[in-house]
Amino acid sequence: MVAKRWSELSRGQRVVVVALASVQVSLAVSAWTDLAVRRPELVRGSKARWAAIIAVNFVGPVLYYTRGRVSEEQPA
């Protein structure tokens, strides 16, 4: 498969690329924000490690939200 330049993409392809990039950036920013404000005892493992994992495309933020966080117990 030959990579296309931005100028070679159709309008529809450009829209899809921008939309996916926006979703990726939004997921990463929200995950990093949550990680920054979450207490260390509510994170499984090292915060530094999770910060690096979050940088991995769509997979990182999804892993953080599904595996990296410990739910905070609600007071009775």
Average of per-residue pLDDT values in the chain = 92
Helices (H), the chain: 11-37, 47-54, 59-63
User: Above 60 in pLDDT, residue 75?
Assistant: no
User: Above 70 in pLDDT, residue 74?
Assistant: no
CA distances from 54 to 6, 9, 16, 40, 61 (A): 26, 29, 22, 16, 5
The pLDDT of residue 73:
66
- pLDDT, one tens digit per residue, over 22-47 is 999 999 999 999 999 999 999 999 99
User: Above 70 in pLDDT, residue 3?
Assistant: yes
Note the pTM of the prediction, 2 decimals: 0.81
